[in-house]
Structure 1
Amino acid sequence: MKDTVGLVTQEDKEFYKKNGYWVSPVLFDEQEIEEMRKAHDRIWSFDYDGDGYPLEEWRPTNNPNMLRKIDNSWWINDVVRKTVTNPVIGRIAAALMDSTEARLWYDQVIYKPGTGTGKKDALSPGNVGWHQDYIYWQCTNTDNLITAWIALQDTDLTNGCMCIVPGSHKWGLLEGSDAFFNRDLEAVKARIAEESGKEWKEVPILLKAGQVSFHHALTIHGSGQNYSEHPRLSIVAHLMPHGTAYQNRGHNVDNIRLLGPRPKEGQRFDNHYFPVVYSEESQS
């Protein structure tokens, strides 16, 4: 992986602050990308490192023609673990969050199937509905979390790249954004646009293999059909700033179980289930 000392400039931070996303240069080399692609194959074949299991899985009959997503795969795959805890990713995330530290919240390995046809399917099985990540993370006391999305192949509109609504991280939390698994992108768009009352403008995030896009936890994003014959593969690291703690808003995710059987208000997500990816203190 390339070093990033001085990579994130003040101009980059201002762009992120204004638009709610930022795209890195290519960070991973061909060998690293191939290792991550092989990690995908092993995970979908239930070939795990060690004897544990991921916290949560979503694999309908493990069908390669459907969208597949698995959370906390860093527990069961050494390559994913190395990738999502890489301090370069953490350093960038910390800079964009204006934090002295970046901890891993959790990871995702996502497989978007290819349809192998140029025919548009409005309800393609690989569609990811428009959503805000924070709609699922309200058990944290801040919305200043960030997602690092790593492309394992050149990714554009032909194979279902992510699309972002710039500036939408300033719209607040929208109840209509709970739509990750809703394949009807147009219906979700109409619902969110009506709730927000804002002008909708989406931008495709075009990435070369090994590039990483970073977006704010409130930034609205989704992705459409993969028209190619090959699956679109990605590894995703969700990261949180220093001091992130539990807040009971009645909308919790499985990760709160990692705080113990009875999490308490204000309890920090700072145990070994949420490893430090980067810290200024460790660099001094």
Structure 2
Amino acid sequence: MSLQAERAYKITANDKEVFHRDGYWISPKLIDDDQIERLRKAHERIWSGDYDGDGLPMNPFRLPDNPHALRKLDNGWWINDEVRGVVTDPFIGELAADLLDTDEIRLWHDQVIYKPGVGLNVSQDGNVGWHQDYGYWLCSNSSDMITVWIALQDTDLTNGAMSTILGSHKWGLIQGSDSFFNQNMEELKEKHAGGRDWVEEPCILKAGQASFHHGLTFHGSGPNQTLNPRLSIVAHVMKGGTRYRAGIQRHDNIRLLGPRPVDGQAFDNDYFPVLFQR
């Protein structure tokens, strides 16, 4: 398919079946090579502190002392126009809406992620531990959220591709699944599997493709054993009408509801822009 045709892609019944069966679905190419290159340059600007506008990302960022450490920044759309363009893309919103059978998709927050290349060094420094994204988002009243992980280069296990645990979104919320930063993958596997079948499947992506995984799908990634960084832009999205659950768990998005958030308040202001609405 040409990119123009790919951008007009519609979710099929088979796509929905795969997403609901496995907990994730891989898209056709969403962005062209020119946009990929612009987003790679956006990475360079962001990590050097060169921001668009006078704002700041959600959390302050400084380069880690360890050159092998993962770099992660939340809400890059606040500080970079290229990131803003892709994480608020209506086409991405429409694909997510169809996978979730909903009429509106809003941005929950984004992430800009840089996994350094360490070559063949034996290191866990770039690992992302097995986790469920919703384990961090318990302040929202629905786990029906999707993470759209967009590759900015061809991505496979050699450069630290993400792997998912097939069908793990059907396990429900697992206690302690907010384990992104625990880099001991074997320890986490033993902890989270709980006797269930643990089937790892890598998300092999061409540059510009994305994986769409459910908020309860366990996923993680190992080291980048090339000499080039693995770059990605990530849009975490939610159904329109997703609401705040008070007193469950702290998350920075709660502050974006205003000075006195109340239980049941919708995440529907300008900090949570609409990507798609029927």
* Common topology (TM > 0.5): yes
Compute the displacement of 1:177 (Å). Answer: 1.5
SS where residue 190 of structure 2 aligns? helix
With over 3 angstroms needed to count, the CA separation of the structure-2 counterparts of 1:63 and 1:35, relative to structure 1, is: farther
Q: Which residue of 1 aligns with 2:76?
A: 73
SS where residue 276 of structure 2 aligns? strand
Compute the displacement of 1:64 (Å). Answer: 3.9
| Equivalent pair of 2:105/2:239 in contact (CA under 8 Å) | yes
Q: Specify the code of the residue in structure 2 equivalent to 1:110.
A: I
**Structure 2 CA distance, aligned partners of 1:178 and 1:99?**
26
**Structure 2 CA distance, aligned partners of 1:4 and 1:109?**
22
**Structure 2 CA distance, aligned partners of 1:62 and 1:253?**
26
Compute the displacement of 1:109 (Å). Answer: 0.2
Q: Which residue of 2 aligns with 1:34?
A: 37
Per-residue CA distance 1:100-133 (angstroms, 9 max, x = gap): 011000000000111122x443xx2110000000
**Structure 2 CA distance, aligned partners of 1:48 and 1:5?**
32
SS where residue 176 of structure 1 aligns? coil
Q: Which residue of 2 aligns with 1:126?
A: 126
| Equivalent pair of 1:165/1:221 in contact (CA under 8 Å) | yes
**Structure 2 CA distance, aligned partners of 1:165 and 1:246?**
28
Compute the displacement of 1:193 (Å). Answer: 1.2
**Structure 2 CA distance, aligned partners of 1:210 and 1:103?**
21
Q: Which residue of 2 aligns with 1:261?
A: 259
Flag structure 1 segments of 5+ consecutive residues without an equivalent: none
| Equivalent pair of 2:135/2:176 in contact (CA under 8 Å) | no
Residue identity (%)? 58
**Structure 2 CA distance, aligned partners of 1:226 and 1:82?**
27
Q: Calculate the TM-score normalised by the size of structure 1.
A: 0.93
Q: Which residue of 1 aligns with 2:19?
A: 16
| Equivalent pair of 1:138/1:249 in contact (CA under 8 Å) | no
Establish whether residue 109 from structure 1 lines up as the match of residue 112 from structure 2.
yes
Establish whether residue 56 from structure 1 lines up as the match of residue 54 from structure 2.
no
**Structure 2 CA distance, aligned partners of 1:272 and 1:154?**
33
Flag structure 2 segments of 5+ consecutive residues without an equivalent: none
Range with bigger deviation, 185-194 or 161-170: 185-194
Per-residue CA distance 1:242-262 (angstroms, 9 max, x = gap): 210101242121011000111
Range with bigger deviation, 242-251 or 210-219: 242-251
How do residues 164-203 of structure 1 correspond to structure 2 at under 5 angstroms? 164-194=164-194, 197-203=195-201
Q: CA RMSD in A?
A: 1.4
**Structure 2 CA distance, aligned partners of 1:18 and 1:255?**
30
Q: Specify the code of the residue in structure 1 equivalent to 2:71.
A: R
**Structure 2 CA distance, aligned partners of 1:132 and 1:212?**
18
Q: Specify the code of the residue in structure 1 equivalent to 2:180.
A: F
Establish whether residue 138 from structure 1 lines up as the match of residue 138 from structure 2.
yes
Compute the displacement of 1:173 (Å). Answer: 0.6
Per-residue CA distance 1:125-156 (angstroms, 9 max, x = gap): 11000000000000001000000000000000
**Structure 1 CA distance, aligned partners of 2:66 and 2:44?**
13
**Structure 2 CA distance, aligned partners of 1:155 and 1:208?**
6
| Equivalent pair of 2:47/2:63 in contact (CA under 8 Å) | no
Compute the displacement of 1:26 (Å). Answer: 1.1
Per-residue CA distance 1:214-264 (angstroms, 9 max, x = gap): 000000000001100011000000000021010124212101100011111
Q: Which residue of 2 aligns with 1:278?
A: 276
SS where residue 238 of structure 2 aligns? strand
Q: Specify the code of the residue in structure 1 equivalent to 2:240.
A: H
SS where residue 27 of structure 2 aligns? strand
SS where residue 241 of structure 2 aligns? coil
Compute the displacement of 1:97 (Å). Answer: 1.1
